[in-house]
Amino acid sequence: MNLPIEFTNRMREMLQEDYEDFAASYERPRKPGLRGNRLKDGVQRFEESGLFGMEEIPWALHGYYYDPAVRPGKHPFHEAGVYYMQEPSAMAVAALSGVKPGMRVLDLCAAPGGKSTQLASLLGGEGLLVSNEIHPARAKILSQNIERMGIANAVVTNETPEKLAARFSVFFDTVVVDAPCSGEGMFCKEPEAIPNWSPANVALCAERQKGILDCAAQMTVPGGHLVYSTCTFAPQENEQNAALFLMRHPDFTLVDLPAALGQAYMEKTGLCPGQPRFAEGIEVPEEVRNALQGCIRLWPHKLDGEGHFVAVFVKNGPSYERRMQAPEPLKDKEAIKLWQAFAKETLSAQGMRRIGGLDTHRAQGTEGLVLFGKELYRMPCAMDLKGLKVLRPGLHLGTLKKNRFEPSHALAIALSEQDVRCSAETEDQKEHVMGDNRLAASYLHGESLMANECSSVKGTQGWCLVTVCGFSMGWGKLTQGQIKNHYPKGLRRPY
């Protein structure tokens, strides 16, 4: 690869005797990765199937290398949100975040959604995930990926870090900052980024990252974690920024990740500690510089993955239990009537529990329901979103039509076949998942299906969840043995 001479000179100085191994890594074939979606019922069957020649990624729970000769993006499981295709090293960020079910989590620089969807899996459907992206076009892609992965407890925003910090001061248990960076760690995967590299751009990125980190610190609760990551090798954007953050925010402490993980784990995975000597160019106390060995470096010559950096800070102070409050009950009686009529006709008892708020013990199912025009959503908790640019204020349930409710694609993807009264399976689950998926492909093209062609059908009429090997792909409408296709036109695959 034709790498900039300033870059190679700096890397030679950084790595010293390891530089030749590093340089040789650019000639080695890369191993792509994907991550099973633990929000999907039955995803274990996929993970154990051997589909795509999968091999476990050692630092990423439910992450797998796959055979680069296959194309997982073309398989119906991709559209069903069974997995997310993600660079293997990038999976380390959420894996090291410490996120657990029930937390309030912010992914501040979230597009295209790899880390957000992984954080959502760690939350397990409980708690709150706010996924933010400042660039509108990228925020739209982020929102689409949140939908495809069936995430019900996520709010997607398109805001500046400063505006979010002003609104959500001391609010989140974990804030993840996968900061915009010079992208040096991705040169092999994205060589088109090489001409844009320069020392000046590295300095510009480092300065921008400081402001983002300061906003993230403001939004972190005492006892909470701030996770900082980049996909660059530059010390200015990594160890040096971590040290300078500690100087600006003495109420934070750097977590010693290598010590927490243990030497055996570090050796097994190929993860490396941060390098205090990379911060020798800045004036910080010796104890701050020494603490930088608590960061994590992922080097492409040490493991099968691209370059990445991770630092986890904990905010000092007494932590305390924070209960999330439910939003005010919806007062639009017509909306409630149409939604509940649809839900009782279409969802099973399990489906009602999964979506929440539909049993008689919870104010007749109105908690969390919010109406934006004719679009009905269920918000995960009470939040003040007024004045913010919001793409997705929670799970999109559907649209209010005249005297009826039309369910959304997002709702279909968030459900399983056990959650509905009517479903149609396009492939016999007893067969190998590498079957030709003819009916699934027809459905994704936008074609209607005949019920007698499906391997199994539950129910006789009404809204029907169309599945592949038990994983939901979208809605159909079953009438007199025919399933009319309701897969969104904008998502349909060309022939």
Least confident of 134-148, 262-276, 321-335, 350-364: 350-364
Is beta strand 154-157 parallel, antiparallel or unpaired with respect to 128-132?
A: parallel
**Which residue is it, tokens 């949100």?**
81
What are the DSSP calls for 9-24, one per residue? HHHHHHHGGGHHHHHH
Percent of the chain beyond pLDDT 70? 96
pLDDT tens digit sequence for 429-439: 545 455 457 89
Q: Which two tokens stand for residue 356?
A: 């929440």
Please give the pLDDT value at position 366.
63
Q: What is the three-class DSSP state of 35?
A: strand
The mean pLDDT of 220-241, rounded to a whole number, is 98
Please give the pLDDT value at position 1.
75
Please give the pLDDT value at position 364.
44
The mean pLDDT of 94-116, rounded to a whole number, is 97
Active site residue 215: no
What are the DSSP calls for 332-361, one per residue? -HHHHHHHHHHHHHHB-HHHHHHH---STT
**Which residue is it, tokens 């010693």?**
256
Mean pLDDT score of the chain: 93
Please give the pLDDT value at position 72.
94
Among the listed residues 250, 248, 254, the one whose alpha carbon sits nearest the alpha carbon of residue 212: 248
- Which range, 233-247, 324-338, 363-377, has the best average confidence (pLDDT)? 233-247
Percent of the chain beyond pLDDT 90? 86
Please give the pLDDT value at position 433.
53
Please give the pLDDT value at position 195.
92
Residue 435 vs residue 42, higher pLDDT: 42
The answer to whether residue 166 scores a pLDDT higher than 60 is yes
Please give the pLDDT value at position 324.
80
Domains and CATH numbers, the chain: 5-30+86-315 (3.40.50.150), 330-387+397-419 (no CATH), 422-495 (2.30.130.60)
The mean pLDDT of 250-259, rounded to a whole number, is 98
Please give the pLDDT value at position 361.
35
| Pairs from 256-261 (Cβ < 8 Å, separation ≥ 24) | 256/291, 256/293, 256/294, 257/96, 257/294, 257/295, 257/296, 257/310, 257/311, 257/312, 258/293, 258/294, 258/296, 259/294
Q: How many CB atoms lie within 10 A of CB 314?
A: 18
pLDDT tens digit sequence for 178-196: 999 999 999 988 888 899 9
Handedness of CA 413, 418, 419, 423 (dihedral sign): positive
Please give the pLDDT value at position 92.
98
The answer to whether residue 344 scores a pLDDT higher than 70 is yes
pLDDT tens digit sequence for 476-486: 999 999 999 99
Please give the pLDDT value at position 323.
75
Count, in order, helices (H) and strands (E) of the chain.
17, 24
What are the DSSP calls for 437-482, one per residue? -HHHHHHHHT--EEGGGSSEEESSSEEEEEEETTEEEEEEEEETTE
Catalytic residue among 205, 231, 422, 469: 231
Phi, psi of 404 (to 5 degrees): -155, 165
